[in-house]
């Protein structure tokens, strides 16, 4: 039996920690796409466009394979495969932390 080789086009994705965090997100997640806000049908499998996928707040392409954010659950969000692919490697839009209420009406 031969040992499975790492895929050079998927750095970090063969890591046990990455696979464990994806499995954990599938279990504890609410199964709602964070982009379109529609439910994700967990019966659908890849490559169905509405299947579950793990989206990263900081895109994997911007992370080194040994960076803890590659597999940390705080960097992962649930998304439909097509929503995740449509986003590509763009970072998440920045949400305002507070509203300016200094104006007296």
pLDDT confidence band for 41 (50 / 70 / 90): very high
Res 10 pLDDT > 90:
no
Domain count, the chain: 1
Task: Please classify residue 62 by burial: count the beta carbons closer than 10 Å to its beta carbon, then call 0-12 exposed, 13-18 middle and 19+ buried.
Answer: exposed
The values of phi and psi at residue 41, to 5°, are: -80, 110
pLDDT confidence band for 71 (50 / 70 / 90): confident
Asked whether residue 93 is assigned to any structural domain, the reply reads: no
pTM: 0.73
Res 97 pLDDT > 70:
no
Domain hosting 65: range is 32-87
Asked whether residue 18 is assigned to any structural domain, the reply reads: no
């Amino acid at each position: 039996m031969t040992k499975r080789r790492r895929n050079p086009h998927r750095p970090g994705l063969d890591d046990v920690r990455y696979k464990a965090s994806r499995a954990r997100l599938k279990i504890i997640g609410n199964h709602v796409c964070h982009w379109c806000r529609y439910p994700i049908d967990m019966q659908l499998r890849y490559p169905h466009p509405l299947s579950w996928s793990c989206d990263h707040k900081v895109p994997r392409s911007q992370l080194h394979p040994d960076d803890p954010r590659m597999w940390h659950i705080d960097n992962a969000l649930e998304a439909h495969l097509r929503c995740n692919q449509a986003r590509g490697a763009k970072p998440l839009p920045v949400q305002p932390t507070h509203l300016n209420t200094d104006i007296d009406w």
